[in-house]
Amino acid sequence: MSVQTSSQINGVDLDLLVQTVGAIKERPDLAQFEFRSNTRWLGGGRCETQIGGFYGAGSEDTTRTKPFVLQGDEPPVLLGDNTGPNAVEAILHALSSCLSVGVAYNAAAQGIEIDELTFEARGTLDLHGFLGLADDVRPGYSRVKIDCRVKSNASKEQIDSLLNYVMRTSPVLDIIRNPVEVEVSY
């Protein structure tokens, strides 16, 4: 059940949401963000990523007093120690997390109360591509399937419209669906 106050729906401060959208309409440069991470290999399939500061809304963010630390590893069948999710599992988390925020925020903006929201994501991957055993098999996911469940007082039509809008505006879904310029320097 979502926590609500007079200016909140789904835990989203509607006044702040309206102010943020208004500020970006007034000053489009405020919409430019740069997120950063630093990853260190720890041996075998293990790595540790720290995520701290970022640039956004016209300045460097200083609200994080210490970085978030994410662990990555592989399951034993892929020669790891299972100390954390592997990178392709982390992609499923990122996608589901982004869709969750998109649904909650946009539902709040439309006055739709969400009682329960879940995403079950599955990605299909063929190791022939990653291992270099087949040039015609991509190394990444060939398919991602997501089951979304929304419990709300909204009509089916409202939920359909909401989900279609979120699918069009989700940053992580866009990153997965469309090529992104990636530059690796060494």
Q: Within a domain: residue 109?
A: yes
pTM for this one? 0.90
CATH number reported for the structural domain that contains residue 104 in this entry: 3.30.300.20
Q: Is residue 51 one of the residues assigned to a domain?
A: no
150, part of any domain: yes
pLDDT at 6: 56
Inside any domain, residue 19: no
**Domains held by the chain: number:** 1
Model confidence at 4: pLDDT above 80: no
Residue 106 domain-assigned (yes or no): yes
Helices (H), 43-183: 87-109, 127-130, 156-169, 171-177
> Rounded to 5 degrees, what are φ and ψ at 161?
-65, -45
What distance in Å separates the CA atoms of residue 91 and residue 38, rounded to the nearest whole number?
Answer: 17
Residue with tokens 């109360």: 113
Does a structural domain hold residue 63? no
Residue 3 binned pLDDT confidence (cut-offs 50, 70, 90) = very low
Question: Residue 94: which residues within 8 A CB-CB, separation 6 or more?
Answer: 172
* 136 and 128 Cβ atoms separated by less than 8 Å: no
Domain that holds residue 149: 86-179
In-domain check, residue 114: yes
Q: Look at residue 107 and tell me if it is in a domain.
A: yes
